């Protein structure tokens, strides 16, 4: 068995205590189409460079998803988001 020196053991203990990043769904609001822009919280605006869209967002005469809530799932350490659904 290999014994760790005290500094390595301390580093290992700190690493175990770090909070794991949890990716939980978030709700955003579509504010612009066809160039997609989604507002997340009060001051965060996401555009195409931040989004991977897995649903159809419509913007035409009969139907517009502007103002609709969408479900976002963060990835890439919260820097990018999957748009995974619409909120009814």
Q: State the DSSP string of 11-37.
A: HHHHHHHSPPP----EEEEEEETTTTE
pLDDT at site 1 = 44
Mean pLDDT per 10-residue interval, the chain, length 88 residues: 70 76 87 95 93 91 92 91 93
* CATH T-level assignment (fold) for domain 20-86: OB fold (Dihydrolipoamide Acetyltransferase, E2P) (2.40.50)
The pTM of the full predicted model, rounded to 2 decimals, is 0.73
Please identify which residue in the block is written with the tokens 């579509």: 30
User: What is the DSSP code string of 26-71?
Assistant: EEEEEEETTTTEEEETTTEEEEGGGEEE-SPPPBSSS-B-TT-EEE
């Amino acid at each position: 068995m290999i014994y760790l020196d005290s500094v390595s053991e301390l580093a290992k203990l700190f690493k175990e205590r770090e909070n794991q990043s949890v990716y939980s769904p978030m709700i955003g609001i579509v504010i612009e189409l066809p160039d997609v822009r989604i507002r997340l919280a009060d001051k965060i605006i996401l555009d195409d460079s931040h989004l991977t869209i897995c649903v159809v967002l419509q913007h035409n005469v009969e139907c517009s998803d502007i103002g609709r809530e969408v479900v976002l799932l963060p990835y890439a350490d919260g820097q990018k988001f999957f748009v995974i659904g619409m909120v009814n």
